[in-house]
Amino acid sequence: MTDSPSAFLGMLRTHLLLVRCIGMLAELGIADRVATAPQTPDALATACGVDADALMRILRLLAAHGVFQADDTGAYRNTPISELLRDVSGSQRDTLRTSWQDVIWDTYRQLPDALRTGETAFDKAFGQSFFEYLSAHQEIGARFDSSMALMSAPENAALATTYPFHGTVVDVGGGRGGLISAILSAHADVRGILYDQPQVLQDEAKLLVAAQRDRCDLMPGDFFLSVPNDGDIYVLKRILHDWSDREAVRILRACRAALKPTARILVMDAVIKPGNDPDPNKLLDVGIMALTEGRERTAADFERLFAAADLKIARVIPPTPPSPMSIVEGGL
């Protein structure tokens, strides 16, 4: 919190402009262009095909906030913040670039109507669901998938060592396989199953588990209908938060049908803190509300979901940085 309520609100107004400026330079790939050596705004503008004076003024603004840094010659280099705008592990570039911002801002324009009606803002803005849109707009969808993979890499490594994985681990809705790859790397005695829709698993060379295929099976399917049998641990990372309670229970019931008595379900999702305590997951929850019918949930919410699926929660393991997610462990 800043020094006064007025200063706090003023900061928010300023941050709208900062985010847009960061997005424009992320779109141009400026952080990658200055990664090996400082460059002047003139040189960068020529390479990017933009106006040199406008670029200089935006760089100067961002440098004043720790995003890029100018040297005595007026050339700019990266800072720890702008390093996260490069195409590297942990990058946030694709979720900040203007092409993605435009999708999000068009969604947020519909939030007042969503507040009034309870409808999903994204559906109102684009006439289709979030996942339908990503499927129909392949370039945006590919950037989204790539961004999630880059951002997830550090947290996957943390999650893989937070729990004593053993036996056969089924990664339900595991996408490109970042999490199951991290689990296999951390636990030499584990076998994996990457379970997702057929089109997700279609190009094996692009999967993050490609080098570990001798220990990981690929199984296509629909997690609303069924999941592979005979797993020892079923992992659902950032799956339930995309769905309404009704659909989340359907997914958990499909998992329950596959469980043997000793098997465990691990739901890796945000668990919202009660009361007025600061919690980034409260911001994430409203963001999810704008995009999908899903939600972030409290521990009590998860208790209700598990009970509705005829499952029991054994414990909630708190987040291990840099992962913001808790692990809700349950079983029969």
Active site residues: 241
Nearest of 56, 61, 60, 48 to residue 18 by alpha carbon:
61
- Written as six digits, the tokens of 183 are 């689990």
Q: Quickly count: other Cβ atoms within 10 Å of residue 204's Cβ.
A: 11
- The type of residue at 209 is V
Report d(CA 314, CA 34) in Å as an integer: 49
- Written as six digits, the tokens of 132 are 């339908």
Place of tokens 């699926």: 309
Q: Which of helix, strand or coil describes residue 29?
A: coil
Report d(CA 297, CA 320) in Å as an integer: 18
- Written as six digits, the tokens of 7 are 């200063």
Helix 280-291 and helix 98-108: axis angle, to 10°?
80
User: Kind of pairing, strands 191-196 and 264-269?
Assistant: unpaired
Report d(CA 202, CA 210) in Å as an integer: 12
- Residue 219 β-bridge partners: 195
Q: Is 109 left (phi over 0), alpha (psi -120 to 50) or beta?
A: alpha
Nearest of 275, 265, 280, 247 to residue 315 by alpha carbon:
265
Q: Distance between terminal CA atoms of the chain? A: 44
